[in-house]
């Protein structure tokens, strides 16, 4: 097409404007010769138009067209008559350029820039540099390398394909310039924001099923997108979002969540999809954004690149889902969760300490035990007080404090109770109790009020000791407040007491020296015997300054954070400064990568400084053994050690949730309490009435058993016997991963002797096989027996094996065919594996590889989403006492 210029400067012209001489271009649109430049007859037509029609009115354009039409036809001149064509027959001749003798020809336009302009309904804007002497510019769309002036197309005709444009300069006194290089205009993308938002999320009471994935309800979801600009309108577009799961509060390790199938929504600019309602019960989090957009008119799909800020977050829970029947959860009072309890007498000078009936007032101060899981602080505290008795055992006094037999009254630190049940002007962790009696033992149970709608303190009446809150003691001794004795008695006491103490110390020193000499002799004999019998594998102590050795300055030990105790010494929380180099000695590339520890929390087993030579040797033996074990994901792996100076330290991986025994027992107690309170935790609709992380399923327990069997299989393949396989020696990390720990009793078995002969000592009798108890013979088969008992602990959530049977009677019970009966909540297939581990003949017991495969197959078959355990609180193995815990290790003499 041809466009007239107004002034010689850089031009910015749209593809759609009304152009001068538009009416002339149709006569040469078809059947033109292919050439890099315009055909000569086209040039003749343009020259005629410039000479005859320039400056004419629109009413005269028809006559110009009729006059110039012959100059654009092939028959204007003969084909071989070049002179005629150069002169355009009878048009005025073109001037000749000076010095060349040839007709003057214009240069091609330069620097063409073309792009769609969304603000002008996607018209194409074209820009190029001016050419000196140009009167008009011809713009042409190039198609299949054919050079021609085509008919104009509307934007919608060329919108869905790439457009190539070029320009030629035109003048009446020179030849038409060659066409410029082509400017390519790519087909535009829809202007749509990558960010989406939730339009609606509704619960429907219809089952959801997609392949093997099933749910008892359906979530209908609609996501809304924003179309900024598109020539054919938003209805032409089909949007496909990216919808990705980030996490769920309740994990499902078995079933994969299917990708939602999105389709055009009923509301404008929305897409819809359906999900299983278990996404709401499991409280899953998703992120979403626009990923692809398809234009039906153009039959093209465009990818939208979403940045980090373009992703929206969707938490699917009862707060975000319409029609969700949410049950208000009223948190009950929390009792016994306090520390640093102290009682101080108020105004002691106003009390008649000689009168036993004189009333006494005390101020109680305390500090709450903070728990991160609680979402809000207590409203205020209530102190229940009454008569009390001392417990008979040290364990009961440690865990339960004092035995309060009744409630005489209560007091709180709420100075002003508001009508809504909240409290105003609450003193900071202080409560005042009045009208107490001197020389009388009281019990005080402190309870935090979490919700004014629940003031039920019946927890005081709980008799089950593992659920009973701790109660603190108050005893106001009148002797401490009565007048002091005379100075003479004080002088006599001050002089006589030290003398008597010196005499007693001298006698005690004599007795201690005699016993210490005997003790040293016995230890030396035992050490000599141990050194003679020690396997050649451990005769050399760990090498100093090896890759595992860590400088003590690079290890911080938090001695106030004790994690537990092992076969030797105690285990503390620590922090590694810098990197541990022991990973270079790992047995595999995977071990090298995963054991790279740097500036992280670790568990440190530390031998006391006063340990004797025998304990040091055994501790060094354990360090050497863990170096030999190599890395395995189901073992608590060694990271470093400190043996260049005392006290010796063994640095291991830190597991966040402690040992498996207490982990399971905490959840057992919680589930029994839910049963007592009438809360059905197996019903998904009741999920908001309890903490899902504290409720165990058969699937989770099977997963623990499979992971432990995998670690024991590795130990047996490496030729080691653990000798102490039990839940207390399995550690839990991040709730879903378990690792085998405490290798203090672990021993290496030579290939030519398939067992290890022990020498007695304190051993876990209830976890030992018949041959281990009677003959002190420990093999992989005895570890398999212990694993069967560990399976019992897992399925009973930390239950006590052989409840009611004393350790001294275990051997006769087993030799007479007695075994642990099937627990009430134990699947039949799971119990069959347990029983196979307890065959009297050690060679008839299955290998760990077989056990792992059987348990893994059972895990694959469990498909029920809410396969929660149902506990029978009447079963004796659930009623674990603290005394029974202390009797797990029994002294066996050789």
Record the pTM: 0.43
Alpha-carbon distance of 384 to 389, in angstroms, equals 15
Return the pLDDT at 821: 93
pLDDT tens digits for 482-504? 876 656 666 766 777 888 888 88
pLDDT tens digits for 297-352? 888 898 988 888 999 999 999 889 998 877 677 888 989 888 889 999 999 999 99
The number of CA neighbours under 13 Å toward the Cβ of 804 is: 5
Residue 276 has pLDDT above 70, yes or no: yes
DSSP-derived 3-state class of residue 650:
strand
Average pLDDT for 50-76 = 75
Residue 547 φ then ψ, to 5°: -65, -25
Alpha-carbon distance of 392 to 493, in angstroms, equals 33
DSSP-derived 3-state class of residue 683:
coil
Nearest to residue 465, comparing CAs of 406, 409, 395, 410? 395
Q: Which of 48-52, 692-696, 798-802 tops mean pLDDT?
A: 798-802
Which residues, at least 6 apart from 700, have a Cβ–Cβ distance to it below 8 Å? 736
Whether the Cβ atoms of residue 475 and residue 360 lie closer than 8 Å to each other: no
Look up tokens 């035109």; give the residue. 170
DSSP-derived 3-state class of residue 580:
coil
pLDDT tens digits for 584-642? 555 444 444 455 567 889 999 988 877 888 888 888 888 888 888 888 899 999 999 99
Residue 306 CA: distances (Å) to CA of 236, 240, 285, 300, 310: 21, 13, 19, 19, 6
pLDDT tens digits for 173-211? 777 788 888 888 777 888 889 999 999 999 998 999 888
E strand or H helix at 562, and its extent? strand 555-565
């Amino acid at each position: 097409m041809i466009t007239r210029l107004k002034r010689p400067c850089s031009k910015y012209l749209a593809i759609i404007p009304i152009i001068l001489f538009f009416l002339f271009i149709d006569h040469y649109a078809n059947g033109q010769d292919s050439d890099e430049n315009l055909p000569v007859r086209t040039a003749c037509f343009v020259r005629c138009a410039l000479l005859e029609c320039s400056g004419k009115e629109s009413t005269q354009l028809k006559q110009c067209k009729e006059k110039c039409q012959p100059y654009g036809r092939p028959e204007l001149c003969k084909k071989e008559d070049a002179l005629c064509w150069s002169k355009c027959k009878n048009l005025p001749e073109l001037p000749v350029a000076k010095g060349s003798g040839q007709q003057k020809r214009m240069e091609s336009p330069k620097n063409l820039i073309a792009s769609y302009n969304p603000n002008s309904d996607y018209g194409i804007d074209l820009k190029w540099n001016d050419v000196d002497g140009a009167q008009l510019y011809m713009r042409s769309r190039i198609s299949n390398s054919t050079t021609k002036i085509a008919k104009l197309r509307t934007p919608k005709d060329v919108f869905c394909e790439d457009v190539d444009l070029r320009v030629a300069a035109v003048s009446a006194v020179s030849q038409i310039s060659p066409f410029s290089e082509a400017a390519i205009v790519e087909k535009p993308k829809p202007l749509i924001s990558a960010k989406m938002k939730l339009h609606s999320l509704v619960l429907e009471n219809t089952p959801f099923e997609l392949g093997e994935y099933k749910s008892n309800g359906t979530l209908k979801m609609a996501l809304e997108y924003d179309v900024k600009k598109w020539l054919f309108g938003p209805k032409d577009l089909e949007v496909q979002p990216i919808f990705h799961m980030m996490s769920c509060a309740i994990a499902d390790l078995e079933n994969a969540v299917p990708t939602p199938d999105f389709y055009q929504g009923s509301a404008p600019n929305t897409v819809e999809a359906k999900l299983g309602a278990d996404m709401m019960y499991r409280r899953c989090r998703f992120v979403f954004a626009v990923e692809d957009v398809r234009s039906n008119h153009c039959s093209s799909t465009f990818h939208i690149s979403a940045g980090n800020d373009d992703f929206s977050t969707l938490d699917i829970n009862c707060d975000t889902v319409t029609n969700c029947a949410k049950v208000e959860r009223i948190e009950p009072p929390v009792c016994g969760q306090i520390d640093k309890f102290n009682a101080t007498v108020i105004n002691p000078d106003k009390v008649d300490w000689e009168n036993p009936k004189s009333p006494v007032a005390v101020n109680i101060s305390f500090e709450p035990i903070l728990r991160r899981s609680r979402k809000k602080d207590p409203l205020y505290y209530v102190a229940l007080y009454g008569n009390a008795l001392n417990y008979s055992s040290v364990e009961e006094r440690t865990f339960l404090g004092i035995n309060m037999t009744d409630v005489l009254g209560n007091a709180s630190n709420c100075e002003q109770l508001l009508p809504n049940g909240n409290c105003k002007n609450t003193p900071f962790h202080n409560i005042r109790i009045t009208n107490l009696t001197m020389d009388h033992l009281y019990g005080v149970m402190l309870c935090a009020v979490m919700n004014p709608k629940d003031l039920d303190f019946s927890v005081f009446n709980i008799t089950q000791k593992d659920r009973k809150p701790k109660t603190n003691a108050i005893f106001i001794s009148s002797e401490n407040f009565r007048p002091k004795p005379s100075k003479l008695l004080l002088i006599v006491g001050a002089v006589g007491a030290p003398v008597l103490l010196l005499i007693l110390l001298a006698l005690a020193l004599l007795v201690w020296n005699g016993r210490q000499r005997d003790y040293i002799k016995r230890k030396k004999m035992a050490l000599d015997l141990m050194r003679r019998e020690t396997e050649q594998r451990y005769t050399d102590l760990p090498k100093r300054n090896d890759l595992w050795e860590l400088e003590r300055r690079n290890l911080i030990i938090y001695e106030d954070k004790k994690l537990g105790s092992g076969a030797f010494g105690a285990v503390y929380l620590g922090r590694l400064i810098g990197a541990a180099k022991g990973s270079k000695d790992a047995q595999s590339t995977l071990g090298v990568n995963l054991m790279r520890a740097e500036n992280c929390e670790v568990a440190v087993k530390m031998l006391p400084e006063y340990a004797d030579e025998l304990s040091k040797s055994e501790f060094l033996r354990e360090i050497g053994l863990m170096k030999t074990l190599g890395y395995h994901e189901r073992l608590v792996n060694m990271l470093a050690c400190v043996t260049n100076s005392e006290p010796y330290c063994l640095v291991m991986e830190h597991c966040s949730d402690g040992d498996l025994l207490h982990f399971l027992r905490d959840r057992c107690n919680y589930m029994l309490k839910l049963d007592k309170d009438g809360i059905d935790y197996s019903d998904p609709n009741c999920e908001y009435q309890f903490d899902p992380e504290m409720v165990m399923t058969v699937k989770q327990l099977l997963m623990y058993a499979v992971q432990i069997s995998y670690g024991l299989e590795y130990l047996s393949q490496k030729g080691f016997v653990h000798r102490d396989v039990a839940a207390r020696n399995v550690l839990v990390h991040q709730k879903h991963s378990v690792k085998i720990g405490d290798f203090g009793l672990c021993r290496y078995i030579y290939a030519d002797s398939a067992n290890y002969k022990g020498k007695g000592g304190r051993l876990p009798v209830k976890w030992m096989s018949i041959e281990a108890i009677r003959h002190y013979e420990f093999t992989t088969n005895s570890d398999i027996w212990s694993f069967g008992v560990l399976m019992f602990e897992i399925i009973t959530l930390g239950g006590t094996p052989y409840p009611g049977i004393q350790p001294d009677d275990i051997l006769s019970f087993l030799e007479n065919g007695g075994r642990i009966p099937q627990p009430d909540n134990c699947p039949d297939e799971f119990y069959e594996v347990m029983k196979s581990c307890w065959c009297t003949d050690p060679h008839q017991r299955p290998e760990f590889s077989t056990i792992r495969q059987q348990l893994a197959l059972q895990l694959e078959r469990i498909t029920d989403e809410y396969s929660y355990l149902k506990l029978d609180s009447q079963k004796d193995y659930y009623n674990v006492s603290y005394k029974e815990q202390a009797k797990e290790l029994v002294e066996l003499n050789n």
